[in-house]
Structure 1
Amino acid sequence: MSSPELILVVDDTPANLEVVCETLSDAGYEVATAIDGDRALKRVRAYPPDLILLDVQMPGIDGFETCQRLKADPATASIPIIFMTALSDAESKLKGFALGAVDYITKPFQEIEVLARVKTHLQLRQLTKNLEQRVAEKTADLEAALTQLQQSQIQLINSEKMSVLGNLVAGVAHEINNPLGFLVGNLKPAKDYIKDLFQLIDLYQQELSHPSAKLQEVVEEIDLEYLREDLPKLMDSMEQGVARICTISTSLRTFSRSDCDRPIFFDIHEGIDSTLLILKHRLKANESRPEIKVITDYGDLPKVECFAGQLNQVFMNLLANAIDAVEESNQGRSFAQIEANRNQITVKTQLSEDRVAIRIQDNGIGMTPDVKEKIFDHLFTTKAVGQGTGLGLAIARQIVVQKHSGTLEVNSNLGEGTEFVISISVKDIAVKNFQQTSCVGAAYR
């Protein structure tokens, strides 16, 4: 059996504390109290509640400042705050909402109103926590799946079966599409059903001019007007989430193009964008650094005749290495220092006569002349034991040079970042050996 929700009541008037605490305790909630803002802040940090009822006018730190401090702290920012106040002016309410409060309760207290608002916001917080947990679980599952794919790459490379990886990712994208299609197909009817239900409720309210006390109590308890306003917003959020998954699924299919047996005409920018989306989780800000900024400067390119899946593997390798390089450059630097000189990766494409150049540049630590000379050698790696195979750049160069009759070059100076330059022909790539050569992909070096 789950423990009751903890509600912190903050008020400098003992009579108010007694009334509210008795009401909440009788309803089955666990109640804690504080008589001023300072005590409230200390109590919240030590024992975070599920909800805070906060008086506006208090000596010392008033309710507004207390709310502002709670919302500024990531550890307490998500706790819903309901203001308790005798103030009824719109300016005070707007100030409270601007600071992050979710609701107001006006003194003198009405027991039914207090319980209804408390119940509503506790339910909303629980729904939010459940959704965040499900998102975190799905994210963890996807990250675990990606880790498994990365581990599988080495085995597949050694056995020259990189086509299996492409088929696997394509299969995942296909499996995602089945439930995704169900969601896409049902969200609009669900919104229509909700609209119909609200219309029916409106009609009942029009024809039932004198609702019973029980019916009126239920309407107030569920806060029908708030539901009417908030439910469409929840549905819109779900639609945005589904659209995001559709984008990811499309990128997975783009990235895993199964074209081992023949070259096709392919949009290079589409391949780069799909790779960046797959790597997006590594570009996001974390506790040690801000977001890694990616600048794309795309030229006007025609479609290029290439082995698209293998070329995407090259983009994956070079972009992942660029992320590694800028993260390595952050060692010994504070968050503020990194923010002052932001991590950055630039991807530039250009057309010169019948050749396409793709430049991937980072502002990381750069390379010494000795490392630059060996960077494409088989089994050479600058990474710690267990973190790199020494195969990635060697195979990336093999894909560009042998499969596409192109070039892969590196420009780098220690402390000045690194730039990899891919150059391939728009068409008529060398395919004289592709019947004898199995598909090969790029692993992390």
Structure 2
Amino acid sequence: MKSRSTYLDASAKIFIIDDSYYNLDILSTILTESGYNVVAEMNSEIAFDQIIKCYPDLIILDVVMPKIDGFKLCEVLHLEPKTKDIPIIFMTALTDIEQKVKGLNLGAVDYITKPFQKEEILARIQVHLRIRQLNLELEEQKQQLEQRVQARTAELSQALENLKQTQLQLVQAEKISLIGQLVAGVAHEVNNPIGFIATNLYHAKNYVEDLVHLVQLYQHHFPQPGASIEKQIEEMDLQHVLEDLPKLVSSMKLGTDSVRGIMQSLRTFSRADGDTKKAVNIHEGLETTLMILQHRLKAKPNRSAIKVIKKYANLPLIKCYSGQLNQVFMNLLANAIDALEDSLMNRDQEAKNLQIHVCTSLDQERVIIQIADNGMGIPESKQNEIFQPFFTTKAEGKGTGLGLSICQQIIREQHGGTLECVSSPGEGTEFLITIPL
């Protein structure tokens, strides 16, 4: 359809179709003298193609013509999307009401009766050109309104999406904050008795060593302690006790040190981020996360242990929100473990060859962190959707579909970096994190 905001009758193009040269000449003369741009055609068979090319503003069409009559041509023009809105005025010498009604039903807007009356012809043409003008203006306003509605809808959709993302961030931040408070409280409560036990074990170790030494001196100076003592020594297996007791105390000391290390790691992992970034050791966050996930990496009845292969570069301290970054590490590593376990269920992976690679590197402008597994990979059809909120490849009830979306927000919006996924079905998945220095 033409796009015209203003429409002048005198500049309108009018297409006339009549098999009578006399009628064409009279009508063309009237319209041309009135300032209209006139195109005339006597052959109704070729008129359609010419109308498509020149696209007139109004068509005057004779009803009675050989080969293709006016009714048929009118019907064809109204079935064609390009010409269906062009007003058509029939001209005829017939006065049969049924014929006129038929033409109007086919889409004509008016009739001109032969012989022609100049004033009537011009008046009818001006009316329909004016209506045509109003219709074009209305259509243009409609299109502009639709464009504004579409633009506004897009703005509202984007605002809604931003609101959803903000809500996700707030919910996740609140959850991490609560976990941090809980872990800090638990760590504080556990550290007190563990410290007490560790201190006492230090003294207990010295006491045990002294007692063992004393018993050995007794055995050396009094090799014949008497029948009752020898019987007790035999029953309690004194020699085994003397050898095992120091080992037992050392094992207890090792256990308390391990618990204290775990508590410290939990506090490090869940510490709250302030309003500004702090310089931290990225490797500490990775090691802490791996330690927390250690129970999932250990061997199980249906599989061997998951081997973590680490390749760390010499990194400087990186300014970041360490709590949020640890959250990203936790999500990606947990997903890698899930992927390996799922690959076992689908028998796509050897039970003894489960691996996760954690690598860091450095270039002039950024830190690069790679976390990869050798699981079954992500189907190509789903790789473009994994960062969408609520999308998950896991079984129903196993994942919320929010983890990767939140990870991408943390890396992209909070740290100005990138989070990308590279996956080959059957070969595994790699997540690539970049953080500007």
Interval of TM-score (by shorter of Structure 1 and Structure 2): 0.5 to 0.7
What's the counterpart of residue 233 of structure 2?
219
Contact 1:163 1:260 in 2 (8 A): no
Q: 1:386 aligns with which of 397, 401, 411?
A: 397
Query: How far is 1:197 from its partner?
Result: 1.9
Percent identity over the alignment? 52
What's the counterpart of residue 214 of structure 2?
200
The correspondence of residues 13-412 of structure 1 with structure 2, limited to 5 A, is 157=171, 160-205=174-219, 208=222, 210-333=224-347, 337-339=350-352, 342-412=353-423
Q: TM-score, normalised on structure 2?
A: 0.58
Q: Distance in 1 between matches of 2:315 and 2:402?
A: 30
The 1:211/1:357 distance shift into structure 2, 3 A limit, reads same
Q: 2:427 aligns with which of 416, 423, 434?
A: 416
The 1:218/1:354 distance shift into structure 2, 3 A limit, reads same
Once the two structures are superposed, residues 335-391 of structure 1 have per-residue CA deviations (whole angstroms, 9 ceiling, x without a partner) of: 9x422xx11110111111131010111111111222110000011111122111111
* Count of residues in correspondence between the two structures: 270
Q: Distance in 2 between matches of 1:159 and 1:191?
A: 45
Once the two structures are superposed, residues 3-55 of structure 1 have per-residue CA deviations (whole angstroms, 9 ceiling, x without a partner) of: xxxxxxxxxxxxxxxxxxxxxxxxxxxxxxxxxxxxxxxxxxxxxxxxxxxxx
Once the two structures are superposed, residues 239-288 of structure 1 have per-residue CA deviations (whole angstroms, 9 ceiling, x without a partner) of: 22222223222221221122243311110000000000110111111111
Q: Distance in 1 between matches of 2:221 and 2:424?
A: 80
Q: TM-score, normalised on structure 1?
A: 0.57
Unaligned runs of 5+ in 1: 1-153, 427-445
Contact 2:176 2:270 in 1 (8 A): no
Unaligned runs of 5+ in 2: 1-167
The 1:155/1:400 distance shift into structure 2, 3 A limit, reads closer
Q: Distance in 2 between matches of 1:417 and 1:205?
A: 64
Query: How far is 1:181 from its partner?
Result: 0.9
Q: Distance in 2 between matches of 1:353 and 1:311?
A: 21
Contact 2:378 2:429 in 1 (8 A): yes
Once the two structures are superposed, residues 116-150 of structure 1 have per-residue CA deviations (whole angstroms, 9 ceiling, x without a partner) of: xxxxxxxxxxxxxxxxxxxxxxxxxxxxxxxxxxx
Contact 1:295 1:346 in 2 (8 A): yes
Once the two structures are superposed, residues 284-311 of structure 1 have per-residue CA deviations (whole angstroms, 9 ceiling, x without a partner) of: 1111111111111111110110110110
Query: How far is 1:399 from its partner?
Result: 0.7
Q: Distance in 2 between matches of 1:216 and 1:155?
A: 72
Q: Distance in 2 between matches of 1:357 and 1:224?
A: 58
The 1:334/1:370 distance shift into structure 2, 3 A limit, reads closer
Q: Distance in 2 between matches of 1:317 and 1:174?
A: 26
Query: How far is 1:199 from its partner?
Result: 3.1
The 1:184/1:387 distance shift into structure 2, 3 A limit, reads same
Superposed CA RMSD: 2.2
Give 1:269's aligned amino acid: H
The 1:332/1:403 distance shift into structure 2, 3 A limit, reads closer
What SS does the aligned partner of 1:295 have?
strand
Q: Distance in 2 between matches of 1:372 and 1:300?
A: 32
Once the two structures are superposed, residues 48-78 of structure 1 have per-residue CA deviations (whole angstroms, 9 ceiling, x without a partner) of: xxxxxxxxxxxxxxxxxxxxxxxxxxxxxxx
What SS does the aligned partner of 2:204 have?
helix
The structure having more radius of gyration, on CA atoms, is 2
Q: Distance in 2 between matches of 1:383 and 1:220?
A: 61
